[in-house]
Chains A and B, each alone.
Chain A
């Protein structure tokens, strides 16, 4: 029965003269979210609101699910859209709407009519009174409460007439594309996809980099990262995923540096490479899934040492989160099941039994000098041979 939606947005309403930028971005993201849905629809902007009108058959639940992936939407109102018609005909539609949406009639309500189309024979006040009376006649259990009703039924008369009363909460945040771009360091774990989701929620477009280490990590491990990126891209829009073959660098560090420092030095090179790709992709920052103290390489001392290689700001949205909070979000965004697939168990040779937890920057830098002979060439080689995959929602 529903055929149109009002898309409500919150934060972007307050952005002054730049508002059209935000609205355009939101319209773009709404269109992206409906990609592959097989629907025919029209998106139109009116001050403060966006209308999406569908033509023909569509799957209501699927469309709502898609809108829930669009940052910037604070609420979704499903509406019944009818042709402009005489008031007597309209009352029937309103009564039918009410009957279907509220099987239980023991409710308080008020009618809020809006006549945008001034050619309509009744004005807003008259419509309020008349529709209210018709509903009371049809459903005697109803009571009117103009101050704090359980149901606020809106009848909006424009070119067409829209009837609605319910608002489904949207995801909030800001439309992607309104706040620049950042490079996500994406692994197959639980944290990094959540970090990408969170930064994307603030309107930041993201690209991602994955460090692949064949034969220590398998094709399945890479596929898992592609799958995770796809889940994130349902929210963030298309992601360029840069796959870096990191094996040679990893083995070189293994040969030249103390074993307990392997992870931290590896991470420094990952950040370095990620930053190079970020700059080239015109990103303003890096994103990681780090959370203080989660593992040896995420102590404040370790973060200091890995952070030191970057000039760009590093966004760490999970920095103060407990694991269970991160898990809760990963379940919400559907990445959890994929993240916990056990495909990455052969990298263990690179993990020291007792890695440093308080690395000293001076010492680490000194040990990195052992790499000076080949490392620059190896980094260049890794960048040159990278694979770039465009990841977007596939349905």
Chain B
């Protein structure tokens, strides 16, 4: 008998749409040609790639030639930052990002710092948002890249991309604006034009597509260099045999997740509201990254629809996570620093959370398949966990 599982760790990865898996299986076993081959087998395979370019360009409302396929979100971020920094360093060596980016950004700018670039980090308020004033103060004539995430992966805060984009281009039209949208793509319409975004990264496996594939949107005007070399595929910007099943998979997944997007968003916001209202009544629980209005209602629409972050006082994330796991409920620790290394940066820490709050943080991340019933079960089980283990605290 298959056990019913409740998977609420969709910001870590998602279940692949069966349609995507079937398509990929067909490509791997039947249409397995190399798009670079001249024979029919190659042409057949190339069709899938061309279709994916078109689908993704349509979803993003950009040109097909502005799409680059990579091995995932991390590579997209690396290519965007390193590729653009190297191509534009004569214009300046200054880069701005935020303190709460994913390690794919933070460790890449750390590398660029070693290469002589100067990095500035924007701080966040207690809801995990950057301030436009701080960005204004830090933007300079020699700033070549600003990289700001769309949706924070730990707490689900949304960054003010449109204001940031307008500000950047008004201060310094040549400065490039990169957005890491790994957590945001598929959960919101990407504001590429309205926020003056030059480059945008997203990943396949966060949108019910396969692992090992990502996209980097690069505006046709952007000067960028490759970061690895080879057979000249993708106009020489991203070399290597095209990952045809992955590319077709991410194309179909991007299309499927974008269908009826506003309805899906409404549903997720309702679920998030419901969950926050209920869980905030539980003793020892506090909510991270979501404001309340004067009536005590959570202002969920100011945050991402799918990511919820809470802290339980006196209990450690891992203990709750493993206890829930015994009930086939899968969530994740809510703070990067509580999971393994204390040294790791964490959004919660940057938001000014106490050690108690980061140690006891849980992230619940939903997908379009999440149901109210699942959240109700989670609430019941989480209450039971708090009841059972809450009294055993370190003395």
Q: How far is the CA of A348 from the CA of B318 in the complex (A)?
A: 12
Q: How far is the CB of A246 from chain B (nearest CB, A)?
A: 14
Q: Is the CB of B322 within 8 A of A214?
A: yes
Q: Select one of A216, A254, A259, A351 contacting B322, CB under 8 A.
A: A216
Q: Is B323 an interface residue (CB 8 A)?
A: yes
Stretch at the interface among B85-93, B173-181, B246-254, B386-394: B386-394
Q: Which of B318, B320, B385, B394 contacts A218 (CB 8 A)?
A: B318
User: Is B395 an interface residue, CB under 8 A from the partner?
Assistant: yes
Q: Is the CB of A215 within 8 A of B319?
A: yes
- A215 vs B316: C-alpha distance when bound (angstroms): 10
Q: Mark B296-326, 1 if CB is under 8 A from A, else 0.
A: 0000000000000000000010111111011
Is A87 among interface residues, defined by CB-CB distance under 8 A? no
- Interface size for A (C-beta < 8 A) is 17
Q: A14: CB under 8 A from chain B? A: no
In the complex, which residues of chain A have a beta carbon less than 8 angstroms from the beta carbon of B326? Answer: 214-215
The digit string for A185-219, where 1 denotes a CB below 8 A from any CB of B, is 00000000000000000000000000000111111
A116 at the A/B interface (Cβ < 8 Å)? no
Tell me whether A346 and B395 are in contact in the complex, defined as CB-CB below 8 angstroms, given that A215-B323, A215-B325 are known contacts.
no
The residue on A at minimum CB distance from B339 is A345
Given the complex, which residues of B lie within 8 Å of A214, measured CB to CB?
A: 322-323, 326
Q: What separation, in Å, do the CA atoms of A99 and B319 have in the docked complex?
A: 64
- A72–B392 Cα distance when bound, in Å, is 49
List the B side residues contacting A259 at CB < 8 Å.
Answer: 395
What A residues does B392 contact at CB under 8 A? 251, 254, 349
Contact (Cβ within 8 A) B340 A215: no
List B318-342 residues whose CB lies under 8 Å from chain A.
318-323, 325-326, 340
Tell me if A340 counts as interface (CB < 8 A to partner B).
no
Q: Which of A224-251 contact B (CB under 8 A)?
A: 251
Closest CB-CB distance, B347 to chain A, in whole Å? 21
Assembled-state Cα–Cα distance A351/B392 (Å): 12
Assembly CA distance A218 to B330 (angstroms): 13
* B 338-361 contacts with A by CB, 8 A: 340
Report the minimum CB–CB distance from B343 to chain A (whole Å).
13
Asked if A342 is at the interface (CB within 8 A of a chain B CB), the reply is yes
Instruction: Write out the residue numbers on chain A whose beta carbons fall within 8 Å of the beta carbon of B389.
Output: 215
Q: Cβ of B318 and Cβ of A346 under 8 Å apart?
A: yes
Q: Which of A215, A251, A254 has the most B CB atoms < 10 Å from its CB?
A: A215
In the complex, A352 has a CB within 8 A of chain B: yes
Contact A215 B320 (CB under 8 A): yes
Min CB distance A222 to B, Å, is: 11
Q: Determine the distance from Cα of A251 to Cα of B319 in the docked complex, in whole angstroms.
A: 13
User: Contact between B322 and A342 (Cβ–Cβ < 8 Å)?
Assistant: no
Q: Contact: A215 with B394, CB < 8 Å?
A: no
Question: Could you say which of A218, A345, A349 has the most chain B C-beta atoms within 10 Å of its C-beta?
Answer: A349
0 or 1 for each of A328-369: is its CB under 8 Å from B? (1 = yes) = 000000000000001001101101110000000000000000
Q: How far is the CA of A346 from the CA of B385 in the complex (A)?
A: 15
Residues of B with C-beta under 8 A to A219:
322, 325
Query: Total interface residues on B, using CB and 8 Å?
Result: 16
Write out, one digit per residue, whether chain B residues 352-395 have a CB within 8 A of any chain A CB (1) or not (0).
00000000000000000000000000000000010001001111
What are the residues of chain A within 8 A of B385 when measuring CB–CB? Answer: 215
Given contacts A215-B325, A215-B389, contact A346 B319 (CB under 8 A): yes
A218 and B395 in contact, given A342-B340, A346-B316 (Cβ under 8 angstroms): no
Smallest Cβ distance from B245 to chain A, in angstroms?
Answer: 30
Provide the residues of chain A in CB contact with B325, threshold 8 Å. 215, 219
Closest to B321 in A: A215
Give the CA-CA distance A326 to B232 in the complex, in Å.
53
A349 to B395, CA, bound (A): 7
A346 to B333, CA, bound (A): 13
CA distance A89 to B323 in the complex (A): 73
User: B322, A215: Cβ atoms under 8 Å?
Assistant: yes
The residues of B that contact A218 with a CB separation of less than 8 Å are 318, 322
A residues in contact with B322, CB < 8 Å: 214-219, 346
- Determine how close the nearest CB of chain B comes to the CB of A248; give it in whole angstroms: 10
Q: How far is the CA of A251 from the CA of B390 in the complex (A)?
A: 12
Which residue of A has the minimal Cβ distance to B317? A346
**Which of chain B's residues has its CB closest to A352's CB?**
B395
Q: How far is the CA of A378 from the CA of B21 in the complex (A)?
A: 47
Task: Tell whether, in the assembled complex, residue A349 and residue B393 are in contact, meaning their CB atoms are under 8 Å apart.
Answer: yes
Name the interface residues of A303-341: CB closer than 8 Å to any CB of B.
Answer: none
Chain A contacts for B320, CB-based, 8 A: 215
Residue of B385, B392, B393 with most partner-chain A CB within 10 A? B392
Which residue of chain B is the closest to A353 with respect to CB atoms?
B395
Cα distance A135–B325 in the bound complex, in angstroms: 71
Q: With the chains together, A22 CA to B392 CA distance in Å? A: 52
Q: How far is the CA of A346 from the CA of B318 in the complex (A)?
A: 7
A215 proximity list for chain B (CB < 8 A): 318-323, 325-326, 385, 389
Cα distance A187–B316 in the bound complex, in angstroms: 22
Whose C-beta in chain B lies nearest to the C-beta of A347? B319
Q: Which residues of B contact A342 (CB under 8 A)?
A: 340
Interchain CA distance A351-B326 in the complex, whole Å: 24
Q: How far is the CB of B382 from chain A (nearest CB, A)?
A: 12
Residues of B close to A353: CB separation below 8 A: 395
CB distance from B4 to the nearest CB of A (A): 19
Q: Are B319 and A348 in contact (CB under 8 A)?
A: no
Set of chain A residues within 8 Å of B395, measured between Cβ atoms: 259, 352-353
Query: Distance (Å) between the CB of B29 and the closest chain A CB?
Result: 29
* Chain B, residue nearest A217 (CB): B322
CB distance from A308 to the nearest CB of B (A): 26
Q: Select one of A217, A251, A349 contacting B394, CB under 8 A.
A: A349
In angstroms, Cα B320 to Cα A349, docked, is 14
Q: Which residues of A contact B316 (CB under 8 A)?
A: 346, 349
Expressed in whole angstroms, the minimum distance between the Cβ of A298 and any Cβ of chain B is 22
- CB A354 to nearest CB in B, in angstroms, measures 10
Min distance, Cβ A223 to any Cβ of chain B, angstroms: 13
Bits for A235-276, please: 1 = Cβ < 8 Å to B, else 0. Answer: 000000000000000010010000100000000000000000
Q: How far is the CB of B82 from chain A (nearest CB, A)?
A: 30
A216 to B322, CA, bound (A): 7
B378 to chain A, nearest CB (A): 15
Looking at the assembled complex, report how far the CB atom of B95 sits from the nearest CB atom of chain A, in whole angstroms. Answer: 33
List of B residues within 8 angstroms of A251 by Cβ: 392
**A217 to chain B: which residues have CB within 8 Å?**
322
User: What residue of chain B has the Cβ atom nearest to residue A348's Cβ?
Assistant: B394
User: Could you jot down 10 A-B contacts, CB within 8 Å?
Assistant: A214-B322, A214-B323, A215-B319, A215-B320, A215-B325, A215-B326, A215-B385, A259-B395, A342-B340, A346-B318
* Given A214-B323, A217-B322, 20 new contacts (CB under 8 A): A214-B322, A215-B318, A215-B320, A215-B321, A215-B322, A215-B325, A215-B326, A215-B385, A216-B319, A218-B322, A254-B392, A259-B395, A342-B340, A345-B318, A346-B316, A346-B322, A349-B316, A349-B393, A352-B395, A353-B395
| 5 closest A-B pairs by CB | A215-B322, A215-B323, A349-B394, A346-B318, A259-B395
Which residues of chain A have a CB within 8 Å of any CB of chain B? 214-219, 251, 254, 259, 342, 345-346, 348-349, 351-353
